[in-house]
Amino acid sequence: VWHVALFSRLVGSRDAQLAAIAARALKEVRYHQRFSRGWLERLGNGTALSAQRMQSAVDNLWRFTGELFQADELEIELSAQGIAVDPRELQAEWQNAVHTALIDAGLQIPQEAAFRSGGKQGLHSEHLGPLLAEMQYLQRAYPGQQW
């Protein structure tokens, strides 16, 4: 939902290359949105166990959604120039679509929860270290290689 909202707006970017990338990506993210929503509804409205697991996943991830709509200075500046999108503009559309999808799937909308902010400023929890180490394995094992 967030990507569809973002790319739908980026299609109108003053940066022609960015607008072209967004136009190509929009078809793909719309497909993924339909696919994901289908599974959300099947599992949420499925067995008691699948519904419980879906609700648990939504509850665990919900606290991270607030950062999708945090804007930094660069995003605000690029948005004012018509190049990028201010992520705060995406929140209402995202909330409407996600709330509707959760209700249709028989799931509860979690209460607003505090979230850790600051990822865009490089503030991360201790969990990022092992994740980065795993993602950087090939580059470190084969320095100077190009893919």
Classify residue 138: in a domain, yes or no.
no
Those residues whose C-beta lies under 8 Å from the C-beta of residue 49, and which sit 6 or more positions away, are none
Question: What is the DSSP secondary structure assignment for residue 15, as one 8-state letter?
Answer: S
Classify residue 11: in a domain, yes or no.
yes
pLDDT at 116: 63
| pLDDT tens digits for range 87-101 | 999 999 999 999 999
Classify residue 143: in a domain, yes or no.
no
Distance between CA 103 and CA 50 in Å, rounded? 15
CB distance 33 to 4 below 8 Å: yes
CB distance 22 to 10 below 8 Å: yes
| pLDDT tens digits for range 51-89 | 999 999 999 999 889 889 999 999 999 999 999 999 999
pLDDT higher than threshold 80 for residue 145: yes
| pLDDT tens digits for range 9-47 | 999 999 999 999 999 999 999 999 999 999 999 999 999
What mean pLDDT do residues 114-137 have? 80
- Higher pLDDT: 127 or 88? It is 88
Classify residue 44: in a domain, yes or no.
yes
Instruction: Write out the residue range of the structural domain in which residue 55 sits.
Output: 2-120
Classify residue 77: in a domain, yes or no.
yes
Classify residue 147: in a domain, yes or no.
no
CATH code of the domain in which 58 resides = 1.20.1260.10
pLDDT classification of 114: cutoffs 50, 70, 90: low
Q: Domains in the chain: how many in total?
A: 1
Angle at CA of residue 127, ends 126 and 133, nearest 5°: 105
